[in-house]
Amino acid sequence: MPDFQQDVIPGVQVSNLSCSKMDIGAMSGTFNSSLWSLETKNSSDLACAVTVNMSNTIYLVNSDVAIEPSQISLSKVVDDTCYSVNSTVNTCNTSLKIGKVKLQPPNSLIERLIERMKGLIQDQLKDLVCGSGIKSLQEELQNHTLAPPEPHPQLNPNATPLEGSMLFRTLVNVMNKAPSILGIRFGASLHAGTTLHLNLDFSNGLIFELDDFTELESFVEKLVGILNMLELGKLAEYLLEHLPVIEGAFVGVNNPQPFSVSLEVSFNDFQCDADGFYCSVPRSGGIILGNIRTKNLGEWDRLIVNNLGPFSAPLINHAIEEILGYINATGTRFYIPMMELADAHTVPPTPLLVCMIIVVVILIAGTVVYTIWRYQRTSVTTKEGVKVSLKRVLIEDLLLMGMCALTAFGFTWSNATTAATLTVGGEMHFMSFSLMESTKNMFQAGVYAFGILVFSFSGVYPYIKLAAIIVCTLILEKPDLVLLRVIDYFGKFSFLDSYAMLVMSAGLQIEGIAEVEILPGFYAFLSSTILSILVGNYATTVWRRNTSLRVNSKTKGPFDPETPEVVEGKEEEEEEGENQEIKRKKDTNWKKRLFLRIFNFVFIAGCLIPAWALPCIRYSVTGLASVVQPDDREISLLELGETNWFFLLTCILTIGIAPIAYGVMYPRCSFFASWSAADALLLACVAGLLQIGQFVDYMLGSNMGALYGARANLLWPLLLLLLGSMWQWLLAAEHSFGLKERVGRCIARRKHSLPAEA
């Protein structure tokens, strides 16, 4: 208590009271509208020091003090608004015993004098408590005047205003947007460039009982872990050394009325770097707490604002100085520890961008030249035998090459930029997501399987697919190749990176505090993935449609079993006969096809709808962040899609419309198979979410578990989604390779071979 000062006897003044050891015995207290009482049931032992000024000579007096069991009781009379109008002292029994006294510098004469005066000093201390002390309390209870708040300190000329610091802007945003924590709503604001105003709003009052301090011990352990994570291990040691040990205690508070608590923290000579992120304050007097105030607590407002606040603020500020000095023993300034921020790039490097544009121009120009050259040397005709016009050939080839070039441009753009970031307080980017960064981080975090999948299907496969489309169409002119159609079918797995990014980042979000910010790179990648599927559909179904390239193809398209296979050299009559036979079979089997389509609709819709309507993923937040978000978050596919409107539309198409349309129209409109991406979502969930904890530990640091951790569980609706995906794979395999017919022939051959073996 550096501000403590008291005249004991004439000519003797004591000040700067401090206690290095405090062993408080069992005590109890009651504070309500009619009675205030405080009772200590066991002795309390203190080791204290005080500065004594005797005749202008200053001594430091050290002594042990024992406080005997004491009791103070005060009856009150209150008005209709619960403000005290009168009070009466019921009991005031207190007794202090002073042990052996030591002086610095030593003075045997004064020590003997103090020994003889112990009784007088003990009586003076008792009178201080039961006399002037309790009288001041009674007067304060009837005092309805609140002390005005202290003015904010002025900003130093070379100091950084708090508004210019990213750190404090983030802190203010987080506190103003954070949800209620344990029924407390937080608020913050900045004033005069030097002061942070904090407000705690107890809108439901404060009602709690605490008799088990194991939860408090757990909180202290988490706090120590956070301090170690921030490289403040010395502060953790300081707290463990100085925090009191509480045993067998019970604390109860019952105040159902709403109230608020506010305080202000001023920063003297606060200085930051150009980005306002890495900041420092003087170790001495750099952080000053004050203006501790309450509102709507009745007479407690006056006691706290006028007495308890001014009494405790200097003690807290003194402790802050000690802590800053303990942490940063060298140097005059304390540097606020911060984590590294993640870089977010929204535009590719200029050299790469220029190269991309040049390549696109060369591809388009080369396509024009090559198409004209090929048109003069080959002849492509329609079914009627009419040569296809150069205009159509140029339009189709330029459209195909333009789509391929634009798709490659989009993939390259997205791979070279950041797709999304985990943003805290709308200011600080702590985690970034892009294909290259995510793949590298996954490998370094030990998430090898998922890293390989993401890099293969999102980083390599799209370019292989585009190259295959160009080779099979523009160069080989064989759009019906089975290889091309299989490559087109697997193109949907390019959604893997987008799905994985959002399902993983959704588990990292904390409402109002940490949110995923979608950047242009994400839209570029998702748009390119969609465009790549469109390119595949265009190449396999539209390009050179109804021309000799389709009719004369020797390879039957795997997704067009209803198109009769034409064998070169057959007579026209045989072809017509086969077509009639196929038509007859269609007429006789229409009921089977109708039943199959109805079954496909019911089964696939039944597998998809639960994942959209019911929770299919459960996220758990661990560490200190669980105080902000204590309950597990269970989200459905619809809620997951609402993270971003573009992603939601993509999910509706690829995990809703396309699978159902493919099943209903099977085997027609087979291009819907390349859009049915429920299996890609499942792969992202299984491979990504099951390793999200390992990924977060790497991204934030292995020692961040005390502050923040994330875990995820997959729920039963995803099993139905898996069944629906497996059924679609069977349909696609049957459509592509005729599995049913192959199995039937195999069984038939087996039956024919059995009698021969016998």
Tens of pLDDT, residue by residue over 519-578, are 888 888 889 999 999 999 999 888 988 888 875 443 333 334 444 444 444 455 555 555
Angle (CA) 677 683 689, round 5° = 125
What mean pLDDT is predicted for residues 317-331?
A: 74
Per-residue model confidence as pLDDT tens digits over 393-436: 999 999 999 999 999 999 999 888 888 887 887 777 777 777 67
Q: How far is CA 144 from the centre of its chain?
A: 47
Judged against a pLDDT cut of 60, whether residue 440 lies above it is answered with: yes
CA 263 – CA 289 distance, rounded (Å): 7
What mean pLDDT is predicted for residues 460-466?
A: 89
Peptide bond into 349 cis (omega under 30): no
Helical (H) or strand (E) element with 247: none
C-alpha closest to that of 265 among 336, 207, 327: 336
Q: Report yes or no: 441 and 455 within 8 Å, Cβ to Cβ.
A: no
| Burial class (CB within 10 angstroms; exposed 0-12, middle 13-18, buried 19+) of 105 | exposed
pLDDT of residue 757: 47
C-alpha distances in Å from residue 356, one per residue of 362, 462, 481, 494, 695? 10, 16, 30, 21, 32
What end-to-end distance do the CA atoms of the chain give, in Å? Answer: 106
Partners of 76 in the β-ladder = 87
Angle (CA) 671 672 678, round 5° = 135
What mean pLDDT is predicted for residues 166-175?
A: 87
pLDDT of residue 503: 77
Per-residue model confidence as pLDDT tens digits over 349-371: 889 889 999 999 999 999 999 99
Residue 358 DSSP code: H
pLDDT of residue 628: 65
Of 442 and 76, the structure prediction assigns the larger pLDDT to 76
What mean pLDDT is predicted for residues 177-198?
A: 87
Residue pointed to by tokens 């962040």: 625
How many CB atoms sit inside 10 A of residue 492's CB?
Answer: 24
pTM of the predicted model as reported, rounded to 2 decimal places: 0.70
CA 294 – CA 303 distance, rounded (Å): 10
Q: Report yes or no: 350 and 416 within 8 Å, Cβ to Cβ.
A: no
CA 491 – CA 677 distance, rounded (Å): 9
Q: Report yes or no: 615 and 717 within 8 Å, Cβ to Cβ.
A: yes
Q: Report yes or no: 425 and 169 within 8 Å, Cβ to Cβ.
A: yes
Q: What percentage of the chain reaches a pLDDT higher than 70?
A: 79
Per-residue model confidence as pLDDT tens digits over 584-634: 665 666 777 788 888 889 999 999 999 999 998 888 777 666 666 666 788
CA 688 – CA 680 distance, rounded (Å): 11
CA 506 – CA 501 distance, rounded (Å): 8
Edge-to-edge strands, sheet with 96-104: 5-9, 12-23, 44-54, 57-67, 96-104
pLDDT of residue 195: 93
Q: Report yes or no: 568 and 491 within 8 Å, Cβ to Cβ.
A: no
pLDDT of residue 232: 58
CA 586 – CA 580 distance, rounded (Å): 10
CA 353 – CA 409 distance, rounded (Å): 9
pLDDT of residue 554: 39
Judged against a pLDDT cut of 90, whether residue 734 lies above it is answered with: no
Partners of 12 in the β-ladder = 9, 54
Kindly report the length of the chain.
758
Q: What percentage of the chain reaches a pLDDT higher than 90?
A: 15
| Burial class (CB within 10 angstroms; exposed 0-12, middle 13-18, buried 19+) of 143 | middle
Peptide bond into 667 cis (omega under 30): yes
Determine which of 264-268, 499-503, 627-631 has the lowest per-residue pLDDT on average: 627-631
> Please, what is the average pLDDT of the chain?
79
Q: Which 3 state secondary structure label does DSSP give 63?
A: strand
CA 89 – CA 92 distance, rounded (Å): 7
Determine which of 95-109, 248-262, 694-708 has the lowest per-residue pLDDT on average: 694-708
Query: If phi over 0 gives left and psi between -120 and 50 gives alpha, with beta otherwise, what is residue 58?
Result: beta
How many CB atoms sit inside 10 A of residue 579's CB?
Answer: 11
Question: Could you tell me the pLDDT band of residue 242, with boundaries at 50, 70 and 90?
Answer: low
Helices (H), 35-132: 108-116, 118-127
Q: What's the number of CA atoms in the CB half-sphere (13 Å) around residue 688?
A: 26
CA 368 – CA 365 distance, rounded (Å): 5
Per-residue model confidence as pLDDT tens digits over 46-88: 788 888 777 777 878 888 888 888 888 888 787 776 677 788 8
pLDDT of residue 568: 45
Question: Could you tell me the pLDDT band of residue 507, with boundaries at 50, 70 and 90?
Answer: low
Domain boundaries, the chain: 5-142, 162-211+250-335, 350-549+601-749
